[in-house]
Chain A
Amino acid sequence: MATTSGRASKVKTSVAIPQLGWREARPATVVLVTGPEEFLAERATTAVRQQLRDADPALEVSDVDATSYAAGQLLTLASPSLFGEPRLIRVSAVEKCTDDFIEDVVSYLEYPDADTTLVLRHSGGVRGKKILDTIRAGAGGGIEIIVDELKSDNDKFEFALAEFDAGGRRITPGAVRGLVAAFSSSGSELAAACQQLMSDTSGDIDERDVDTYYGGRSEATAFRVADIAIAGRPGDALVALRNALESGSDPVPVVAAFASKLRVMARVMGDRRSSAELAGAIGAAPWQIDRARRDLNGWSEGGLATAIVAVADADANVKGATRDSIFALERMVSVVANYGLR
């Protein structure tokens, strides 16, 4: 699986330490966790603690809030104890730290304690930059974990898959896709939904489970309507459309879901390259290519052409060319569900 974050090019100052993605988090004397995505930072920190605890269950964990840090605190927590247990010190909100904190960390970095793992969470901004620069220059022998936002659907797909993996659960790709579609606007909501779904269900998870719990989410619903229509089931598709609209779905994302599915189908129809190659060329995930190839069952070139034109008409219509956007949607759904044949 590809690394989805941790691109070194994002950092402008010279960096002498390893910069890793959230999935590669591991203990070190100093672990700097930077980037905006809080739930990924949380995953990274948890992974570090887990690895330390696996190595020695006697691990002592302490938490420090950098915004109310008082001079000397760090040295007290990091000073070797009588029994020599390993220590984990988790510091939050370094981006809002006190001046005392900056001073103490910079001097600590000169002689870090070998049995202590210091995790510093910095979510962005210029405050505490001196600490970041010092660590990145190599002082203290640290590493940096970069937690960027999950941007592409593919990033989210892989994240969700990893969540279920970590939870020891199996889930179908279609179900993951449904989840990603339902929570495309927020990575942290997606993370929460993955956890929720694992606690709400037992055994393997499939599309039906996602639909049961998150079917009301408009994006998931929009894709569901498109899936049914593209599979050539006019009656079911119209019912799904009506349900979607009744549960508050907006017409625009419904049209967008149709457009995005038919687009990939059209791109793969006349192209025999492998899923991986095509995925790169089109900018879609390999699973989307495989799915589109299966979806093409029953479709002709002319029918698909007609369907895309009908979707474009619906787009113009729901955006104001006609007053009756429900009718515009129904017409689109029935053209698509009849494989574009009229």
Chain B
Amino acid sequence: MNVWQQLVGQPDAIATFEAAARAAHAVTAGGESADASGVMTHAWLITGPPGSGRSNLAYAFAAALLCANGGCGECADCRNVVARTHPDLSYLATERVIISIDEVREFVVASQYSPSSSDYRVVVIEDADRMAERTSNVLLKALEEPPARTVWILCAPSEADLIPTIRSRVRSVRLTVPSVELVSQLLRDRDGVDAVTAERSARLAQNHIGMARRLATNAEASARREETVQLVLGMTGLTDAVTAAARLHAIATDDAKAVTDEQDADELEQTRLAMGITEGDVIPPTLRSQFRTLEEQQKRRATRSLRDGLDRILVDLMSVYRDVLRLQLGVAEDLTNLEFETQLRHRAGSVTAAETLAALDAVAHARKRIASNVAPLLTLEAMLISSVLPEAA
């Protein structure tokens, strides 16, 4: 299976990158500049909502550029990209709330070297939206005068998340939200999930592929989501709201931990695979520093994962309030949380549409705050209070 066949739901984007990688290898063979072909360029921006597979696509493209066969998915180059151990790949993964200026400086320096073993050197920044303007300007300099064999791949939720000067120097590839049908199909084909579970998980995950798979295959994850919905639909007053906030905070903490543990184990396995080590083997001293680096990265990621866990919960809450609003407006089809229809209808009948809108606002507001450095529990408290007692906000 080549690197493109492992991706789903983005045929247009895949076609663009496949053609670009082909052109890139053609020009290295012929010796002219990669940009001259028109389909290849040295800086890319992949945009799309969480779960659309931005970073998967970024690394598939990276493999296609670094692999002599254009991303065969089988060779050492391809495997090393998957394990993030390829010598010509630099990447900045989702670990912290903010990407620091020093990190970007380091990347800019790395980008100046010519590739050591492959045709290109590839730099991936997974969350380019997490840069302050000052940091963006450092990156800008590198994008303005790129070495011929360096390719930048930035990822962000949308183009608007980057400063205009950066935007004008990258080629954007927009990903679409995969449909419930497509995600559910994927769960059936790739993970062997039964049709009913696949449909429900795809719907509840609101088409977020990774989330859908977790809901379908991990009973605890789906129990946590159910509790989240029950909690908010059951609140009636201040004490309920503050109690629910404490519980949501605990759920998010558990969820974040579960996700990070899975990711950690996965990455460790991939790294072992790339180095030809099986579990339980003694790691040779020459490879230890790589494992230590991985360990450090994983530790850093743990600090930001609570915010990600909270955001997943807030996305679930938005779906609940959106369902309530739909029912209040008399649109009963396309409910996300079909399993809770009775409670949703009860809530729809007991509050006004204006109150539901206020609750939606409160959640959106909290999401924005959680992304910065605020106290998470306090933010959840204020959010739930505002949705039960709108006059408090």
- List chain A positions with a Cβ less than 8 A from chain B: 255-256, 259, 263, 266-271, 282, 301-302, 304-306, 308-309, 311-313, 315-316, 319-321, 340
Provide the bound-state CA to CA distance between A98 and B163, in Å: 63
Q: Known contacts A306-B392, A309-B393, A319-B372: does B238 contact A301 (CB below 8 Å)?
A: yes
B373 near A320 with CB under 8 A, answer yes
Chain B min CB distance to A271 (Å): 6
Provide the bound-state CA to CA distance between A268 and B389, in Å: 18
B381 near A263 with CB under 8 A, answer yes
Taking the complex as formed, is B382 at the interface, i.e. its CB lies under 8 A from any CB of chain A? Answer: yes
Taking the complex as formed, is B195 at the interface, i.e. its CB lies under 8 A from any CB of chain A? Answer: no
Provide the bound-state CA to CA distance between A321 and B242, in Å: 24
Provide the bound-state CA to CA distance between A86 and B386, in Å: 69
Partner of A311, one of B238, B240, B378, B389: B378
Please report which residues of chain B, range 359-393, place their CB below 8 angstroms from some CB of chain A when the two chains form the complex. 369, 372-375, 377-379, 381-382, 385-386, 389, 391-393
B392 near A302 with CB under 8 A, answer yes
Q: Known contacts A305-B392, A315-B374, A319-B374: does B242 contact A263 (CB below 8 Å)?
A: yes
- By beta carbon, the residue of chain B nearest A282 is B246
A259 near B238 with CB under 8 A, answer no
Chain A residues closer than 8 Å to B378, beta-carbon distance: 259, 263, 308, 311-312, 315
Provide the bound-state CA to CA distance between A259 and B246, in Å: 13
Question: What are 21 pairs between A and B in contact, CB < 8 Å?
Answer: A255-B375, A259-B375, A259-B377, A263-B378, A266-B238, A267-B242, A270-B239, A270-B240, A271-B239, A282-B246, A301-B238, A301-B389, A302-B391, A305-B392, A308-B242, A309-B393, A312-B374, A312-B378, A315-B375, A315-B379, A316-B379
Q: Known contacts A302-B391, A319-B374: does B382 contact A312 (CB below 8 Å)?
A: yes
Provide the bound-state CA to CA distance between A255 and B391, in Å: 22
- 3 A-B pairs with least C-beta separation: A270-B239, A312-B382, A305-B392
B242 near A316 with CB under 8 A, answer no
Taking the complex as formed, is B11 at the interface, i.e. its CB lies under 8 A from any CB of chain A? Answer: no
- By beta carbon, the residue of chain A nearest B369 is A316
B381 near A308 with CB under 8 A, answer yes
A309 near B382 with CB under 8 A, answer yes
B375 near A256 with CB under 8 A, answer yes
A267 near B373 with CB under 8 A, answer no
Apart from A305-B392, A312-B374, A315-B375, 20 more pairs, CB < 8 Å: A259-B381, A263-B242, A266-B239, A266-B241, A266-B242, A266-B381, A271-B239, A301-B238, A305-B385, A305-B389, A309-B382, A309-B393, A311-B378, A312-B369, A312-B378, A313-B382, A315-B378, A316-B372, A316-B374, A319-B373
Chain A contact residues: over half helix, strand or loop, or mixed? helix
- By beta carbon, the residue of chain A nearest B245 is A263
Provide the bound-state CA to CA distance between A270 and B375, in Å: 24
Chain B min CB distance to A266 (Å): 4
Chain B residues closer than 8 Å to A263, beta-carbon distance: 242, 377-378, 381
Provide the bound-state CA to CA distance between A308 and B243, in Å: 13
Chain A residues closer than 8 Å to B49, beta-carbon distance: none
Chain B residues closer than 8 Å to A312, beta-carbon distance: 369, 374-375, 378-379, 381-382
Chain B residues closer than 8 Å to A267, beta-carbon distance: 239, 242-243, 246
Chain A min CB distance to B370 (Å): 10
Chain B residues closer than 8 Å to A270, beta-carbon distance: 237-240
Provide the bound-state CA to CA distance between A226 and B246, in Å: 21
B386 near A309 with CB under 8 A, answer yes
Chain B residues closer than 8 Å to A313, beta-carbon distance: 382
Chain A min CB distance to B236 (Å): 9
Provide the bound-state CA to CA distance between A305 and B375, in Å: 17
B372 near A269 with CB under 8 A, answer no
Provide the bound-state CA to CA distance between A48 and B389, in Å: 58
Chain A residues closer than 8 Å to B372, beta-carbon distance: 316, 319-321
Chain A residues closer than 8 Å to B237, beta-carbon distance: 270, 301
Chain A min CB distance to B364 (Å): 14
Chain A residues closer than 8 Å to B382, beta-carbon distance: 308-309, 311-313
Provide the bound-state CA to CA distance between A190 and B385, in Å: 36
Provide the bound-state CA to CA distance between A87 and B385, in Å: 64
B373 near A304 with CB under 8 A, answer no
Chain A residues closer than 8 Å to B246, beta-carbon distance: 267, 282
Provide the bound-state CA to CA distance between A305 and B382, in Å: 8
Chain B min CB distance to A304 (Å): 6
- By beta carbon, the residue of chain B nearest A270 is B239
Chain A min CB distance to B139 (Å): 22
Most-contacted residue by chain A among B372, B377, B382, B389 (CB, 10 A): B382
Chain B residues closer than 8 Å to A321, beta-carbon distance: 372
Provide the bound-state CA to CA distance between A306 and B381, in Å: 11
Most-contacted residue by chain B among A302, A315, A320 (CB, 10 A): A315
Chain A residues closer than 8 Å to B374, beta-carbon distance: 312, 315-316, 319
Provide the bound-state CA to CA distance between A269 and B242, in Å: 11
Chain B min CB distance to A237 (Å): 19
Most-contacted residue by chain A among B237, B246, B372, B375 (CB, 10 A): B375
Provide the bound-state CA to CA distance between A36 and B336, in Å: 52
